[in-house]
Chains A and B, each alone.
Chain A
Amino acid sequence: MRKLLALVLAMLALVAMMSFAVAEEPLTLTVMLPDFYTDVDFETENNPVLDAIEAASGVRLDIQWVANSSYGDMTSLTLADPDNMPMLMVATGARDPIIVNSARAGAFWDITDYIKDYPNLAAGSEGIYNNISVDGRLYGIYRSRAQARGGIYYRKDIAAQMGITEEPKTIEELTALAKALSDYSDDTYALNMVKYVAGTIGIITVAHGAPFNWGVNAEGQIYPAHQDPAFLEGLNWLRSLYAEGGINPDFMTIESGEWDSIERTGKAFMRFDCMDNCYRQQEWFEKNEGVTEEIWAMVPAVAAADGNMYMWPQNAGYSGEIVITKAVKDEETLKKVLAFLDWTNSAEGQTLINWGVDGETFWIREDGFRYTNPADDVDMSLQVQTLQHSLNQLGTNVTGDLTPAMKLTTLREEYNSYQKSMMEYIVNDPCHPLTSETYNSFGTTLSQMLEDAHVQYIAGIINEDELRAVWQAWSDEGGAMMTMEYNEAYQASIAK
């Protein structure tokens, strides 16, 4: 009897083992992502979002969250320990020397030849794939971002009080608007500027017709943007507004964190920045100041002297990329990982990655729109952050936005419409996909040198001759070398 029992047990054990071997183990994917909610713990067990992702894609995510503020440091630490790398990681700067060098050293899978087999990934923009490539090879999937985000927004109620009711269409009308806003009162300023000036200077110089960072001249050669006469016109625009008292005289000492509050306290009425801030400010005023009318207006671009519109690109079409590291050991696993990334770009994948599960982390209400809570007076943010956390950082969305729509205000709708309609006016940086050794070594110091001189010129500390002297010094200290390197790389890339 006992022998029989032992035999049965042994048989049962064998069957159990066999059944385990037959059922395919889901692939556990280790991922490193930036964490924007460091004060909330992510739920790893019994998380309906992770379960839903596993059920739909056959992949179990094992996520290592890294505080966004220290993500850059953590990237280099992670890459310094090849045995413990995650299989997937977000590289926040695709052109950072650390990422470029690691790609060249073989830290990531070269996916150039695989991508065509995955329909969603292949649907991504070729130009943006080119922007993130290293030496012509592709090492990641870009995280798609709208390019037509940067523009002008201002307080239209103040402008109306000063007699301007039309939105500016040309540079002259913009000048008139700035003048009117500047005259409103002695304690307030027209243009809201802070320590971070790259966006403001970029928007106004590009609007005047200057290239963005680098341009290509009539002979097909690369030249730095500040050598374009339109660039100086843009700087002069800011310089004369500053001289008239239209800009806070201390703007270069104000931290970027103050930017919003300057508008909220009514100290300044216009800003050259991402236009999504326009509807955010409108919504803030509605919520906190009891404003019922639309008091903010946005203008994506105005016509330059030649009559054309030029729009500053807020980014190069992406914000970082997802790379597959060599922690993925074989080609078979690589294909599974690529299939997973392909799935995250399907409508189902995008919804799960960006918003989570209906009824748990987002809610489709009766009107058919997506909300962050089931009803207006319910705060579900803690639950959303616990379950969904910053999972959207894994979203690449190269197929566009396929997720359930939110209900839009007029300003939000206007903003969204510009992202398509303004694309043709975007001025791109021809050197973005190219590498320059000098840029990698001295780039930060050289850009700083230019930016400082431009701020000093705007603030009237230095004159045009002194500004030209700094441009010459920039050229001598590595700028000329950089131009040459970019030019060589550019000529090589168009010859291909």
Chain B
Amino acid sequence: MKEESSFRDASGFVFRDRGEVLRAVNKVYQPDFDFFIQSGLYAELANDHKVVAHEMVWQRKPAEESIAFVLRPDQIPVITYPYEWSFGQLKDAALLTLEIQKRSLEKGMILKDASAYNVQFIGSRPVFIDTLSFEQYREGMPWMAYRQFCQHFLAPLCLMSQHFLLAESLLKSNLDGIPLDVASALLPIKNKFRLGVFTHLVLHGKMIGRFAEGRSGTATQKINKRQLLALTDSLTSTVAGCHLKFSKTVWSHYYQNTNYSSAAEEHKVEILKKFCRQINPQLVLGIGANNGRYSRVFSPQAYVLSTDVDFLAVEQNYIQAKKENDERLLPLVLDIANPSPGIGWKNLERSAFLQRAKPDLIVMLAVVHHLVHTHHIHFGMLAQLAASLAPYLIIEFVPPDDSQIKKLPSLPPAKQEMYNEACFEKEFDNYYSPLQKIKINDSGRILYLFQRKA
């Protein structure tokens, strides 16, 4: 079955076969693909884990005449999109794209596109997945993906580094990145005079506006390889020069402000380890995981999507995962009350988060009271959502007299009456059977392990 996102490039397409993602390479692209292999570029990039490795699978070739052969790339555990990444993830994806562009030019090739969707994460490691993005370089040709790179990477990174963290979510409404004139208008004036920002973003945006009518084929400019390398080098410096200015957000210092004693915390970890051993999960979705402290209880055993709504908490999580070269834990920005929707053609080109992630265990620790008090999501809705996603659920119930609840917006009396342990269990009982219920020592909180009812 052909992937809905795979229709723009005539070089080939991605499809699913027996639960695996395969890539068909069309006959028209074969000369470029052969050059990619014979030049040694593929071997170098794959050995360095920059590009996803693949093998030929002749026997799985669809009947279509236009297809030359089929590749089976190493499978990515879960596909994620740039608007679900932290600043550091987007920056590392940008630097990876530029490194590949530079190494391609040195081998006589060039990237024909520079979409942020060409990069995926395996834990904390970014990898370039579009094997068909490489084409032979011909002297004088410009980099057709320059604008795309600036819109997909440079514009959001520049804006995010200027405290405009939500800029990344503009990628949800703008499939081909943030328009450069918009980014330029949003940037503080003092930031516009860095050479890289001024040229690649401000001047570039102005010139796109000035010649808005023309197609690129009518331009007469030729650019030599040395200039392309200079352009790549300048973009690399500009991206590397974007830094996130850490400031305090609601959640970024969460674990310094909890009401857990060390005994309670140790007991909580012990219970989670026990639950994990009991169900032996393969893919865990942590919701409200903050900086991933408790996600790391599961990552030795399972691949963990460690999600949180807070950009800075996710950034901290990513920095730690990167430091530990962790390829089992993927930090992601996710608001479970408003998860990434399906966007693009038929709303399927970039699918909704809840359709992509197929966990066998959901972990929601100290998050229920926030969803109830802040978003007015009641227990039944939460149970229904969790049961639609995974067969197992670990959930922490925070009692109404907990000191953290007093910091949240108060509930209207009718809803307040419903916020108690008995109602919680009754609502979850509609969807789940309890396997374990353990009260955390030195705390009023309770951890449940649920199994979905057949």
Q: Do they bind each other?
A: no
